[in-house]
């Protein structure tokens, strides 16, 4: 297997991308846990949960944020693959 030596700038970019990827993955995990908790609340106390007038706006905002983070994750992952 041939080892590729990265330039200093590429090493800095690699570290930056790995840090960004780690941060995105943590945000995804947090949002997934929040959405999962809301789904459980819906299953147990549907009427009470949806009585909040902002419930669906907040729930959809979390879902959209999760979609955006997944897109960001894909972009960073692709950039890492292209760098290596």
What's the mean per-residue pLDDT of the chain? 93
Residues 31, 74: Cα–Cα separation, whole Å: 17
Please, what's the largest Cα pairwise distance for the chain?
61
Answer whether residue 1 shows pLDDT above 90.
no
Answer whether residue 2 shows pLDDT above 90.
no
Among residues 23, 49, 20, the alpha carbon closest in space to that of 31 is found at 23
Answer whether residue 72 shows pLDDT above 70.
yes
How many CA within 13 A on the CB side of residue 13?
13
3-state class of 84 per DSSP?
coil
Which residue has better confidence, 8 or 71?
71
Residues 15, 68: Cα–Cα separation, whole Å: 22
> For position 6, what pLDDT does the model report?
81
């Amino acid at each position: 297997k041939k080892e590729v030596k990265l330039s200093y700038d590429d090493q800095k970019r690699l570290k930056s991308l790995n840090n960004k990827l780690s941060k995105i993955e943590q945000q995804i995990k947090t949002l997934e846990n929040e959405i999962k908790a809301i789904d459980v609340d819906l299953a147990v106390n549907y009427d009470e949960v949806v009585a909040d007038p902002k419930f669906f706006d907040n729930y959809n905002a979390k879902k959209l944020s999760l979609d955006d983070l997944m897109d960001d994750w894909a972009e960073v992952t692709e950039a890492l693959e292209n760098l290596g």
